[in-house]
Chains A and B, each alone.
Chain A
Amino acid sequence: MTTTQPHPKTSPLIELSGIAKTFVVRRRVGRLRRTRAEVHAVSDLSFTVSRGEMVGYIGPNGAGKSTTIKMLTGILVPSAGLLRVAGIEPSRERIQLARRIGVVFGQRTTLWWDLPLRDSFGLLRRIYKIPPARYRENLDRFVDLLDLGPLLDVPVRQLSLGQRMRGDITAALLHDPEVLYLDEPTIGLDIVSKARVREFLREVNAGQGTTVLLTTHDLTDIEQLCSRVMVIDHGRLMYDGDLDGLHSLGDSERTLVVDLAEPLPAIEVDGGRVVRVDGPRQWLAFPAAASAAPLVAAIADRYPLADLSIQEPAIEAVIARMYAEGVAS
């Protein structure tokens, strides 16, 4: 936990520098021949994550997100570069590191398929050597927060996806890890389950100071949870910063929706351009980074303005543009 660490701020919790992972694959050519090919899943990746951060890690399919997480957990050995998590080199000291991290794979369970949740948790208690009192406390809290009570005696294989995910998240947190990795924790969940999982993660991050790194394809996760977002594509880091920065980076525009007193021809004004007219209502695009005030003032000056509203650019559109550009480059 944060307070027990000697250097809470001086050294980052997660540190990557020049990390690469190359898979050698054998491709089939013709019926029998095979050639070797290299897949650069991650190339020259460098970033740091400090204690207590909640970071979103996004990118299109095959970008290298899961590969990064597997290196951070010690499952995969990097082909190049330097990697430290809590001062430990994951692939070398995997078992020591395992006590200090929690991992959730959205695509696969870390629980024992044939055992009831309760037994899985009990076994984890022993494996992670969680003090019994701490275990009870944590379990009670997670059961309460994630509404697991009725599910504790159900074998994992009988749980629905959303139920299983809640079980998996609990399993990853019972031993109070310093850092929690989640690889697509909301995949396949309905709106209610997603909301519950997000609420829970926020609580864990804010309440216990657990550092969280999560990958997702649902940008709402990022918008609602993460102050920082990293975008990776083709194994390279394309962006690292806050959400707002991502907006401006996407070179995006906001939309000013104005309702005039009467239907009029398209407004002509500096700093904005009409993209749509529908009776008295007009839509004007203007740069996301610019302030709306001068634009509104200029319009109100010359037109009979009845009402107005501003639409933020959809983050989806920004990201989609980034991904598309990434693919093109």
Chain B
Amino acid sequence: MVDALRAYGWIITMWVRSTMAYRASFLMLTFGQFFGTGLDFVTIFIMFVHTDELGGFTLPEVGFIYATSGVAIGMADLLLGSIERIGQRIRDGSVDVMLVRPVSAFVQAAADRFALRRLGRILQSTAVLVWSLTVLDIHWTWDRVLLVPIMLICGTVIFCSVFVLGAAFQFAASDAAQVANAFTYGGNFLTQYPPTIFAKDLIKAATFAIPLAFVNWMPALHILDRADPLGLPKAFQFASPIAAAAITLVAGLAWRAGIRSYRSTGS
């Protein structure tokens, strides 16, 4: 575990160093991320021009919900967003290379092409979060104070797991196409490859449906002291650590199954 973390550290350090060789372009890309993702919030802002409330929530409240999930997604994306590239690597057989190194393939896939510019999104969401916290008139109790970092950490873990699930799914999805490919000795596999697209949709659906409820919505209701419109049990508002642990377990198992099913390519 310690070894794995250290290896992760070395790999990302190397990628950061190599991006820093082109500092200007790094800064531009980071700002690009900052403003690019910031546009989302501008859209929300514009919706509030003619109304004070949207679905019963004020702009700072929406900002709080938006920002907490934004930070979580941003963190997950920064830490192991590159793992989705595994699909390409499975299809061209370059996972082979990861498997002959004395570091777990997971660490290598997660750290692959670590992109510090993804900080842009985290910074932007953090800015909105700070703004919303200063404007909102929250009745701060201990549990509410604690719930904010818990929400962010669990959110990050949950989104990480979702990315890993998507990556693990690619092992299964590329199986059919890859085998066909190996069999036809490098035939045009691109045309036979709808599963990738399918995988992307699945990831998107999962990204927004499952985790948002726990990451964000449920604990936010408690912090903002709002009644749950769906009337779910109050306990759900504190359940994000359990949800995070559960989905991490599932993702871990899926990844292991994926690696074990890896069969390389015929050339």
Q: Which A residues lie at the B interface, using CB under 8 A?
A: 23-28, 39, 62, 66, 70, 73-77, 94-96, 98-99, 101, 103, 105, 107-110, 112, 114-115, 119, 122-123, 126-128
On whether the beta carbons of B100 and A75 are closer than 8 Å, the reply is yes
Taking the closest CB of chain A, its distance from the CB of B260, in whole angstroms, is 7
Chain A facing B: main interface SS = mixed
On whether the beta carbons of B103 and A127 are closer than 8 Å, the reply is yes
Q: Which of A27, A76, A122 contacts B263 (CB 8 A)?
A: A76
Which residues of B are found within 8 Å of A70, using beta-carbon distances? 96, 264
Given contacts A115-B18, A128-B102, whether A23 and B263 have CB atoms under 8 Å apart is yes
Which residues of B are found within 8 Å of A107, using beta-carbon distances? 267
Which residues of B are found within 8 Å of A77, using beta-carbon distances? 260
CA distance A10 to B258 in the complex (A): 38
Instruction: Considering the complex, give the chain A residue whose CB is closest to the CB of B179.
Output: A25
User: In the complex, given contacts A114-B113, A119-B17, what are 20 additional A-B residue pairs having Cβ atoms less than 8 angstroms apart?
Assistant: A24-B179, A25-B180, A26-B180, A27-B180, A27-B183, A28-B180, A66-B266, A70-B264, A73-B99, A75-B262, A76-B263, A96-B102, A98-B101, A99-B102, A103-B100, A105-B97, A108-B96, A114-B18, A126-B10, A127-B101
CA distance A126 to B7 in the complex (A): 8
Which residues of A are found within 8 Å of B100, using beta-carbon distances? 73-75, 98, 101, 103, 110
Given contacts A25-B179, A107-B267, whether A123 and B102 have CB atoms under 8 Å apart is no
Instruction: Considering the complex, give the chain A residue whose CB is closest to the CB of B259.
Output: A94
Given contacts A70-B264, A119-B18, whether A26 and B176 have CB atoms under 8 Å apart is yes
On whether the beta carbons of A108 and B94 are closer than 8 Å, the reply is yes
Query: For the complex, is B104 an interface residue (Cβ under 8 Å from A)?
Result: yes
Query: For the complex, is B224 an interface residue (Cβ under 8 Å from A)?
Result: no
A-B contact pairs, 17 of them (CB 8 A): A23-B263, A27-B183, A28-B180, A39-B183, A74-B99, A75-B262, A103-B100, A105-B96, A105-B97, A108-B97, A110-B97, A112-B14, A114-B18, A119-B14, A123-B11, A126-B7, A127-B7
Which residues of B are found within 8 Å of A66, using beta-carbon distances? 266-267
Binary interface profile of B, 202-241, with partner A (CB < 8 Å = 1, else 0)? 0000000000000000000000000000000000000000
Taking the closest CB of chain A, its distance from the CB of B67, in whole angstroms, is 33
Which residues of A are found within 8 Å of B17, using beta-carbon distances? 119
Taking the closest CB of chain B, its distance from the CB of A213, in whole angstroms, is 14
Which residues of B are found within 8 Å of A110, using beta-carbon distances? 97, 100-101
CA distance A26 to B263 in the complex (A): 14
On whether the beta carbons of B14 and A123 are closer than 8 Å, the reply is yes
On whether the beta carbons of A95 and B104 are closer than 8 Å, the reply is yes
Taking the closest CB of chain B, its distance from the CB of A173, in whole angstroms, is 13
Given contacts A75-B99, A76-B264, A105-B96, whether A127 and B10 have CB atoms under 8 Å apart is yes
Taking the closest CB of chain A, its distance from the CB of B12, in whole angstroms, is 11
CA distance A107 to B97 in the complex (A): 11
Query: For the complex, is B173 an interface residue (Cβ under 8 Å from A)?
Result: no
Which residues of B are found within 8 Å of A25, using beta-carbon distances? 179-180, 182-183
Instruction: Considering the complex, give the chain B residue whose CB is closest to the CB of A175.
Output: B102
Instruction: Considering the complex, give the chain B residue whose CB is closest to the CB of A122.
Output: B14
Query: For the complex, is B93 an interface residue (Cβ under 8 Å from A)?
Result: yes
Binary interface profile of B, 47-82, with partner A (CB < 8 Å = 1, else 0)? 000000000000000000000000000000000000
Which residues of A are found within 8 Å of B11, using beta-carbon distances? 123
On whether the beta carbons of B10 and A123 are closer than 8 Å, the reply is yes
Taking the closest CB of chain A, its distance from the CB of B108, in whole angstroms, is 9
Given contacts A70-B264, A75-B264, A95-B104, whether A23 and B179 have CB atoms under 8 Å apart is yes
Instruction: Considering the complex, give the chain B residue whose CB is closest to the CB of A126.
Output: B10
On whether the beta carbons of A23 and B182 are closer than 8 Å, the reply is yes
CA distance A34 to B100 in the complex (A): 33
Taking the closest CB of chain A, its distance from the CB of B159, in whole angstroms, is 26
Which residues of A are found within 8 Å of B182, using beta-carbon distances? 23, 25
Which residues of B are found within 8 Å of A94, using beta-carbon distances? 99
CA distance A128 to B180 in the complex (A): 36
**Pairs of residues from A and B, 10 with the lowest C-beta to C-beta distance, nearest first:** A98-B102, A25-B179, A126-B10, A103-B100, A99-B102, A75-B99, A110-B97, A25-B183, A95-B102, A123-B14
On whether the beta carbons of B102 and A127 are closer than 8 Å, the reply is yes
Which residues of A are found within 8 Å of B94, using beta-carbon distances? 108
Taking the closest CB of chain B, its distance from the CB of A223, in whole angstroms, is 26
CA distance A25 to B11 in the complex (A): 35
CA distance A99 to B100 in the complex (A): 9
Instruction: Considering the complex, give the chain B residue whose CB is closest to the CB of A104.
Output: B100
